[in-house]
């Protein structure tokens, strides 16, 4: 059997469950700006903006052979205001595997289609008021320095979007757009295939499902497929640099742990 340097998603079988979600009340909704009860203002982000991360996403699994309009996303039933069901990833079951090797070992497999790992970073979150920089900004900067690139060099990204707001926030944290402009950035079409910087061309967790432990390698699989030029209708043209961000748990208002990987075309 031919062996390759590749990332394979063995299976990903999403199923929707009733999620236990803590409702977070809105303290103010003037001018359609979003303010949560901890006093944090998501400047420039309005109720409709998370829906733009769902609208038009390419669906890669046969179990989800449909697209939803912004209106349909907003009109779906509420999970925890302002999030609707369509803005929340269905918990799934699945597995993933990756084969890694050195450049020396790769010589044994002349038919392989490898990609380069330019950066691999992992960090823990921090409590509010600790004086430590936000985990996303801190870790992405470390990854960019390790890879010798900047956010402006990234051609495609897969980010952790357990809810639609996650994609907006990570676009800001990773430096794809200025702080507070994640909503307008998505609404402009910049994050769609064919846009300035396609984010989650796989459809992300919300469309593919969220198999928890396998979600990170599902992102890597998509990016490897993109770098190989084998993504079909999802293919982003001219991909040379790809970034994956995955985080989980909570410390304060941020993730308890996060990893950022940057891959490059071999």
Q: pLDDT digits over 132-162, tens only?
A: 888 999 999 999 999 999 999 999 999 999 8
| CA 191 centroid distance within chain | 11
Domains of the chain: 7-265 (3.40.47.10)
- How wide is the angle at C-alpha 244 spanned by C-alphas 70 and 20, nearest 5°? 55
Rounded to whole angstroms, how far apart are CA atoms 159 and 82?
21
> Which regions of the chain does DSSP assign to beta strands (E)?
7-14, 26-28, 33-36, 41-46, 78-80, 83-84, 92-98, 115-124, 156-159, 241-248, 257-265
pLDDT digits (tens, 9 = 90+) for 165-174: 889 999 999 9
- Asked whether 168 and 50 are in contact (CB, 8 A), the reply is yes
Which residues fall within 8 angstroms of residue 126, CB to CB, at 6 or more apart?
132, 133, 135, 251, 252, 254
User: Does residue 74 contact residue 82 with C-beta atoms inside 8 Å?
Assistant: no
pLDDT for 60: 40
Beta-bridge partner residues of 78:
84
pLDDT exceeds cutoff 50 at 26: no
Side-chain-side CA neighbours of 169 within 13 Å: the count stands at 19
- Kindly state the DSSP code that residue 254 receives in the 8-state scheme: B
**Range ranked top by mean pLDDT from 30-39, 128-137, 193-202, 245-254:** 193-202
Share of the chain above pLDDT 90, in %: 44
Of 23-32, 91-100, 144-153, least confident by mean pLDDT is 23-32
Q: pLDDT tens digits for 49-66?
A: 555 555 444 444 444 445
Instruction: Identify which has the larger pLDDT, 9 or 223.
Output: 223
Best CA proximity match to 154, nearest among 102, 190, 189:
190
pLDDT 10s digits, 189-245? 999 999 999 999 998 888 888 888 899 999 999 999 999 999 998 999 999 999 999
Decide if pLDDT at 75 tops 50.
yes
Q: What is the pLDDT at residue 7?
A: 33
Cβ neighbours for 183, distance < 8 A, ≥ 6 positions apart: 42, 44, 45, 46, 49, 50, 52, 168
Residue of higher predicted confidence among 191 and 41: 191
Please give the radius of gyration of the chain, using alpha carbons only, rounded to the nearest integer: 18
| Residue located via tokens 């509420």 | 78
pTM of the model: 0.78
Pair of tokens at residue 265? 């075309």
* CA atoms 231, 239, 228, 162: torsion sign: negative
Q: Average the pLDDT over 86-95 and give the result.
A: 85
Q: Identify the DSSP state of 59.
A: P
**Distance in angstroms (rounded) separating the CA atoms of residues 108 and 142:** 32
pLDDT of the residue at 77: 86
Q: HSE-up of 70 (CA within 13 Å, CB side)?
A: 11
Who contacts 102 (Cβ-Cβ below 8 Å, separation ≥6)? none
Bridge partners, 264 (sequence order): 116, 241
Helix, strand or coil, per DSSP, at residue 54: coil
Q: How confident is the model at residue 260 (pLDDT cuts 50, 70, 90)?
A: very high
């Amino acid at each position: 059997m031919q062996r390759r340097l590749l990332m394979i998603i063995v299976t990903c079988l999403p199923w929707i469950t009733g999620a236990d979600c803590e409702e977070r009340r809105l303290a103010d909704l003037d001018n359609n700006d979003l303010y949560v009860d901890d006093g944090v203002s998501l400047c420039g982000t309005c109720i409709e903006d998370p829906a733009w991360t769902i609208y038009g996403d390419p669906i890669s699994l046969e179990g989800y052979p449909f697209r939803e309009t912004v209106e349909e996303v907003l009109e779906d039933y509420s999970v925890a205001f302002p999030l609707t069901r369509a803005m929340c990833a269905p918990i799934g079951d699945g597995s993933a595997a990756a084969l890694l090797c050195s450049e020396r070992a790769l010589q044994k497999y002349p038919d392989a289609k490898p990609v380069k790992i330019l950066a691999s970073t992992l960090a823990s979150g921090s409590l509010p008021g600790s004086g430590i920089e936000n985990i996303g900004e801190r870790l992405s900067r470390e990854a960019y320095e390790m890879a010798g690139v900047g956010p402006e060099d990234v051609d495609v990204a897969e980010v952790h979007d357990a809810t639609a707001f996650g994609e907006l926030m990570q676009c800001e944290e990773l430096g794809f757009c200025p702080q507070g402009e994640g909503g307008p950035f998505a609404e402009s079409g910049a994050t769609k295939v064919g846009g300035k910087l396609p984010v989650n061309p796989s459809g992300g967790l919300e469309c593919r499902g969220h198999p928890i432990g396998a979600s990170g390698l599902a992102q890597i699989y998509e990016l490897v497929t993109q770098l190989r030029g084998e993504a079909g209708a999802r293919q982003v043209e001219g991909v040379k640099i790809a970034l994956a961000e995955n985080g989980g748990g909570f410390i304060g208002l941020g993730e308890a742990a996060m990893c950022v990987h940057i891959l490059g075309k071999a």
